[in-house]
């Protein structure tokens, strides 16, 4: 449930979309997560699972907004999260590009590049 990794001497936590962050058996709310951010703990959260009118706003409250392409061929979803990343001057943007269900080993380079081109067109910088 909880993934931690040290990147540049900072702890990054991934919060599953429908669960609370569990540290030492206690749940941490978004408010408490903001307090953790104040002491140097960065939170990566998939804000695209929220309601469409909250995506841009929620992307500003976490250090690393996360998005995915699985089942979402609509480019507007990519644009809204990219907008909050750029407006909030975020250093990182986590994006699961070219997700595939049931055809992972049959996926072609053309399909992967199609998703990469769409993400660049929506404002995601690859690299």
Question: What pLDDT does 47 receive?
Answer: 72
What is the value of pTM for the model shown?
0.58
57 or 23, greater pLDDT:
57
Contact 88, 125 (CB under 8 A): no
**Residue 36 pLDDT > 80, yes or no?**
no
CA 75 to chain centre: 15
pLDDT band at 6 (very low <50, low <70, confident <90, very high): very low
Measure the CA–CA gap between 103 and 99, rounded to whole angstroms: 10
Domain range list for the chain: 3-121
pLDDT above 50: residue 106: yes
Name 21's Cβ contacts closer than 8 Å, sequence gap at least 6: 2, 13, 15, 27, 28, 33, 43
Does pLDDT of 94 surpass 70?
yes
Q: Tell me the C-alpha distance between 55 and 22, whole Å.
A: 23
β-sheet bridge partners, residue 25? none
């Amino acid at each position: 449930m909880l993934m931690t990794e040290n990147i540049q001497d900072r702890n990054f936590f991934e919060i599953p979309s429908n669960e609370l962050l569990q540290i030492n058996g206690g749940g941490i709310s978004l408010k408490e997560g903001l307090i953790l951010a104040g002491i140097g703990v960065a939170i990566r959260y998939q804000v695209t699972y929220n309601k469409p009118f909250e995506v841009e706003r929620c992307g500003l409250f976490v250090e690393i907004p996360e998005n995915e392409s699985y089942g979402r061929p609509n480019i507007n979803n990519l644009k809204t999260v990219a907008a909050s990343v750029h407006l909030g001057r975020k250093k990182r943007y986590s994006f699961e590009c070219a997700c595939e269900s049931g055809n992972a080993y049959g996926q072609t380079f053309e399909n992967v590049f199609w998703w990469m081109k769409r993400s660049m067109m929506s404002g995601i910088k690859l690299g």
